[in-house]
């Protein structure tokens, strides 16, 4: 099954404008979902599922949904969060206050079950403590993940990268306390489409577009993210990600952090 599924993904992913190298480490999660779909369709194997895809164009939409990877944690990639808290967020807070703006606006694109936007809210309240509030728009394409985000209850394993003091302050057992949820709003959105809003001070698009999407789509997404940012705003990607070569409108600042020009 493992070998069959790898071959199947190497055939199918390019047709969805996705890239196999991004799935190499996490393909088992995707393969399990595809196999459940195959069983639900009463198909004998992945060869039969491939024939089903070729005969049923609408099935490609289903397959695209099965290829979403749902792995996240609070404050994932501690080195990136340390830089955000030490350098990026304080600057954005100071600039917003000096300009007289009512809020600092952040967009978490591909927010999953809410770990990233809530991490931003926790960091803002506990480490930045600015008089300017943080307003976070958190978007994802997966309605199930958005439903989990609305509940804001998390297994302890997803909290392991949070500093202990933050975890004690922000959580009552596995439940995020209400004051850290107040400034975060959720909406359904596909990062491959134009941004839902504009003039963000911070955009986080991590471990998503620049891992799983094909290069031409990455460039399109980067253009959308740039359009969503104020000049001088910050884009944060995954610690193992980088923007495509010759991607206009961004200057590297720190590892995984770019400034919009």
Q: Per-residue pLDDT for the chain (261 aa), expressed as one digit of tens each?
A: 556 999 999 999 999 999 999 999 999 999 999 999 999 999 999 999 999 999 999 999 999 999 999 889 999 999 999 999 999 999 999 999 999 999 999 999 999 999 999 999 999 999 999 999 999 999 999 999 999 999 999 999 999 999 999 999 999 999 999 999 999 999 999 999 999 999 999 999 999 999 999 999 999 999 999 999 999 999 999 999 999 987 899 999 999 999 999
Q: Given this model, what pLDDT does residue 54 score? A: 96
User: CB within 8 A of 56, min separation 6: which ones?
Assistant: none
In 191-204, which positions are buried (b, 16+ CB within 10 angstroms) versus exposed (e)?
beeebeeeebbbbb
Residue 223: phi, psi to the nearest 5? -65, -40
Topology of domain 78-260 in CATH is Rossmann fold (3.40.50)
Domain boundaries, the chain: 2-66, 78-260
> 57, 232 in Cβ contact below 8 A?
no
Token pair 């088992």 in the structure block, residue: 28
Name the residue among 227, 166, 158, 218 with its Cα closest to residue 196. Answer: 227
Name the residue among 169, 99, 167, 89 with its Cα closest to residue 129. Answer: 89
- What does the alpha-carbon distance between residue 54 and residue 52 come to, in Å, rounded to a whole number? 5
* Helix or strand run (H / E) with residue 258: strand 257-260
Q: Given this model, what pLDDT does residue 240 score? A: 94
pTM, two decimals, is 0.94
């Amino acid at each position: 099954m493992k070998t069959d599924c790898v071959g199947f993904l190497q055939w199918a992913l390019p047709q969805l404008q996705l890239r196999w190298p991004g799935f190499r480490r996490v393909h088992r999660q995707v393969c399990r979902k595809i196999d459940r779909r195959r069983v639900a369709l009463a198909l004998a194997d992945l060869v039969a599922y491939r024939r089903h895809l070729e005969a049923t164009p609408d099935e490609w939409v289903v397959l695209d949904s099965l290829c979403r990877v749902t792995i996240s944690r609070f404050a994932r990639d501690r080195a990136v969060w340390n830089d955000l808290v030490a350098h990026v967020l304080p600057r954005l807070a100071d600039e917003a206050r000096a300009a007289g703006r009512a809020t600092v606006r952040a967009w978490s694109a591909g927010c999953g079950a809410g770990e990233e936007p809530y991490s931003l809210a926790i960091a803002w309240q506990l480490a930045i403590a600015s008089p300017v509030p943080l307003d976070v728009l958190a978007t994802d394409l997966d309605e199930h993940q958005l439903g989990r985000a609305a509940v804001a209850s998390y297994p302890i394993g997803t909290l392991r990268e949070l500093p202990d003091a933050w975890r004690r302050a922000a959580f009552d057992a596995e439940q995020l306390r209400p004051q850290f949820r107040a400034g975060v709003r959720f909406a359904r959105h596909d990062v491959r489409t134009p941004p839902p809003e504009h003039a963000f001070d911070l955009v986080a698009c991590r471990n998503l577009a620049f891992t799983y999407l094909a290069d031409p789509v990455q460039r399109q997404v980067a253009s959308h993210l740039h359009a969503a940012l104020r000049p001088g705003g910050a884009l944060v990607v995954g610690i193992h990600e980088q923007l495509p070569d010759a991607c206009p409108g961004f200057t590297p600042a720190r590892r995984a952090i770019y400034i919009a020009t």
